[in-house]
Amino acid sequence: MNGNFLFKYRGQIPILLFLIVIPFIYNTDYNDFSKTLIKQNTIISIVISLIGFMIRIYTVGTTPAGTSGRNRDKQIAKKLNKTGVYSIIRHPLYLGNLLIWLGVAFFTINTIFLVLAIIFFGFYYNEIMKTEENFLVKKFQNEFLLWKNITPMFIPTFKSFKKSNYNFSLKTVLKREYSSFLAIVISFLYVQAVINISLNEEIIISNSMWIIFTAAILITLILRSLKKYTSILNQSGRT
C-alpha cells in the first residue's frame, strides 16, 4: 500500500479497528474471566495507553514548531529533530501511538485481536515511517543519514540521549494533544460499551463512564476554544 496514502490518512485508518473488533468481542466469553482478572487487565490496558500518551506529551512538549506536526496533505519539516527524545528514537510519536492502540486492544481480553492489532500497526507504521524518511533524506541528505545511522527507528536506546534544545512547554501540549486525549477516552469507552452489549447488560454506559466522557468533552472544548479564539496557549518561538 502507498505510504503517502497511509501518511495522509494516518488519523483515520486505525478507526477501522473499531469495526473489526466487534466480532472478536462477541466471540469472547467474558463470563469465563474472574472480576479480579478483568480489573487487572483494565489497569494494565490503561497503563499501556498512558505510557504511549506520555511519550506523545514529552515529544510534543519539547519539539520546535514546523516538525512533528499534524499535517496531512504533504510532508513538512523545517528542521531535523536530533535532541531530546529524537536522540534516542527516530519516530517517538508513532511509538506513542502504537502503545495507545495496543492498550485499547489489550482491553478486549482477546489474544487473537491483540496479535492482529500488533501485525496491523507493525505494517501500518513501518510504511509511514519509510515514507517520512524518504522525504527527510531528500531534504536533509547527509545530516539525516548521519543521525539515522546512530538513532534507532522504533526501539529507543537511552545511551545516546541528548537534552532537548527546547524546554518542555505545557502550553504546546495543551494546544496540540487534547484530541489525542479525547480519542483515548472514546476508544476505551467504545470497547467497554460493545462488551456490555455483547453481554446483554442492562446498562451499556455506566454513570462513571458518562462522567469520564463528559469531562473529556469539556476539556477538549475548552482547550479547542482557547486555541482558536485566544492567544493564551501560544508559546514564544512555537506555533
- Report the alpha-carbon distance of residue 148 to residue 43 in Å, rounded: 36
pLDDT of 76 higher than 90:
no
Residue-wise burial string across 5-40, b where 16 or more C-beta atoms lie within 10 A, e elsewhere: ebbbebeeebeebeeebeebbeebeeeeeeeeeeee
Domain span at residue 130 reads: 3-169
224 domain residue, yes or no: no
Amino acid letter, 91: H
Cell of 192: 467497554
- pLDDT greater than 90 at residue 190: yes
Instruction: State the burial class of residue 174 (Cβ atoms within 10 Å of its Cβ: 0-12, 13-18, 19+).
Output: buried
For residue 175, the one-letter residue type is K
What torsion, rounded to 10 degrees, do the Cα atoms 95, 116, 11, 77 define?
A: 40
64-85 burial, b for 16+ CB within 10 Å, e for fewer?
beeebbeeeeeeebeeebbbbb
Residue 111 lies in a domain: yes
Residue 83 lies in a domain: yes
Name the pTM for this structure.
0.90
Q: State which amino acid sits at residue 121.
A: F
Distance of CA 37 to the CA centre of its chain: 26
Flag whether 103 is in a domain. yes
User: How far is residue 12's CA from residue 6's CA, in Å, rounded to a whole number?
Assistant: 9
Query: Which of 10-19, 23-32, 86-95, 153-162 is least confident?
Result: 10-19
Residue-wise pLDDT for 167-182, tens only, equals 899 999 999 999 999 9
Identify the CA nearest to 39 among candidates 29, 30, 28: 30
Q: What is the DSSP letter of 179?
A: H
Closest CA to 135 of 87, 93, 74, 94: 74
Number of domains in the chain: 1
* All cell numbers assigned to 74: 504533504
Split at pLDDT 50, 70, 90, the class of 159 is confident
Q: Does the pLDDT value for residue 93 go beyond 70?
A: yes
Q: What pLDDT sits at residue 234?
A: 85
Summarize pLDDT for 197-239 with one digit per residue, the tens.
Answer: 999 988 898 899 999 999 999 999 999 999 999 999 887 655 4
Does residue 194 belong to any structural domain of this protein?
no
Question: How high is the pLDDT of residue 178?
Answer: 94
Which cell is 195 given?
A: 462488551
Q: Is residue 174 part of a domain?
A: no
Average pLDDT, rounded, for the chain: 88
103: domain CATH number is 1.20.120
pLDDT beyond 70 at 82:
yes
pLDDT at 158: 86
